[in-house]
Amino acid sequence: MSLINRIEAALEQHFSLAAAASAPPRLIQAMRHAVFPGGARIRPQLCLAVAKACGEDDPELTDAAAAAIELLHCASLVHDDMPCFDDADVRRGQVTVHKQFGEPLALLTGDALIVMAYQMLARSGRQHPMRTVQLLSVISDGVGAPNGIVAGQAWECESRVELSQYQRAKTGALFVAATCAGALAAGVDPEPWHTLGDTLGEAYQVADDIRDVMMQADQLGKPAGQDAHHGRPSAAADLGLVGALDYFNRLMQTAADSVPMCESREAMRKLVLSESERLVPPSACEIIARQVKAPVSVRVSA
């Protein structure tokens, strides 16, 4: 089964358990709306890929960890889209949860998805309870205070923020959780996988900033120009498009180089390369390059 099919199957299985007859039907509908159809599912795929590279021996636990990370990501999107933050109408090409189901249910949907992530871990954790407790720690630290994605979002409510700290928390932390959780689920020390998650996460956020400036809403599946509109810290605003692309390429090179020695090191490096091209397509690089009448940066080589 492909990585993405494993993730969808794990999510579907756990939704069937959450959707008991006693559940409020509209809450379950809203939760499904937030999770299906998914985006690129990049974080859970990364988690599964690392677990495989580490000699995965408990696929149920890996699936639960990966799907939990995706649920936490989806929860953050639902809350980020709400009127008190982005007030977004569209996400992943469909109407946002609060637009479809109202603000109260959107708030509860985010909460229920956070908790569902932990319910998944609990259900699949009995074969390796110590790994599960470690996963609980690593995944929670990717989301909560002091350095997780919720803290990253909270930096938007502070008067002073340092761009790299903000991006590391807002995006990087859950990528770190993804790579480290992959290793942990396989019973392996997560530390060597920390840099890959950290660097990919920051690169992903920089790419998001670049796309937010360059692309149209119909290409993004969500409104464009939101960073400037909300006055948010942005690599594109801070460094300019050329500087941001250069920074992105250096981050992807660091990410590729950081893959620890393991049987499938080359496959992991190739995954990083293909992500690089997916995140900032060659066409976007060309447009940016034309702005300075010369190539601005060398792409990552696998």
Nearer CB in complex with its own copies: 153/195: 153
Taking Cα atoms as reference points, which of 14, 37, 290, 65 lies closest to residue 182? Answer: 65
**Using rule CB under 8 A, residue 141 touches its own copies:** yes
Instruction: Retrieve residue 104's tokens.
Output: 């109260």
Of 110 and 260, which has the nearer Cβ to its own copies?
110
- Residues 161-190 binding its own copies (CB under 8 A) are 161, 165, 169
**Separation in Å, CA 86 to CA 16, 20, 77, 182:** 31, 32, 10, 31
CB of 127 to its own copies, least distance (A): 10
Count Cα neighbours of 188 within 13 Å in the Cβ-side half-sphere: 25
Q: Which of 7, 51, 136, 196 binds its own copies (CB under 8 A)?
A: 136
As given in the structure block, the two tokens for residue 277 are: 């091209």
36 lines the binding site for its own copies (CB under 8 A): no
3-state secondary structure of 91: strand
Interface with its own copies, residue 16, by CB under 8 A: no
Q: Is residue 95 a contact point for its own copies (CB under 8 A)?
A: no
Which of 141/238 has CB closer to its own copies?
A: 141
Q: How far is the CB of 279 from its own copies (least distance, A)?
A: 26
Distance CA 263, CA 54 (A): 8
Closer residue to its own copies (CB): 108 or 207: 108
For residue 244, the minimal CB distance to its own copies (Å) is 24
Q: Is 100 in the site for its own copies (CB under 8 A)?
A: no
The least distance separating its own copies from the CB of residue 165, rounded to whole angstroms, comes to 7
Choose, by CB under 8 A, the member of 140, 164, 195, 264 that binds its own copies: 140
Per CB under 8 A, the list member of 129, 261, 282, 294 interacting with its own copies is 129
Q: Confirm or reject binding of residue 132 to its own copies (CB under 8 A).
A: yes
The distance from CA 184 to its chain's CA centroid, rounded to whole angstroms, is: 18
Backbone angles phi and psi of 129, in degrees to 5: -60, -35
Chosen residue from 57, 60, 85, 250 binding its own copies by CB under 8 A: 85
Both tokens of residue 302? 């696998």
Long-range pairs for 257-261: beta carbons < 8 A, 24 or more residues apart: 258/195, 258/196, 258/199, 259/196, 260/192, 260/193, 260/196
**From CA 62, how far away is CA 168, in angstroms rounded?**
24
Name the nearest CA neighbour of 170 among 149, 199, 191. 149
Q: Does 28 bind its own copies (CB under 8 A)?
A: yes
**CA atoms of 133 and 70, how far apart (whole Å):** 19
Total number of residues that touch its own copies (CB under 8 A): 63
Question: Which residues pair with residue 95 across a beta bridge?
Answer: 90
Burial readout 129-141 (b: 16 or more C-beta within 10 A, e: otherwise):
eebbebbbebbbb
C-beta of 146 vs 221, nearer to its own copies: 146
Q: Which of residues 144-163 bind its own copies (CB under 8 A)?
A: 144-148, 150-151, 153-158, 161
Q: Using the rule CB under 8 A, which residue among 9, 40, 55, 123 binds its own copies?
A: 123
For residue 91, list its beta bridge partners: 94
List residues near its own copies by CB under 8 A: 18-20, 22-28, 31, 75-76, 79, 82, 84-85, 101-105, 107-108, 110-112, 114-116, 118-119, 121-123, 125-126, 129-130, 132-134, 136-137, 140-141, 143-148, 150-151, 153-158, 161, 165, 169
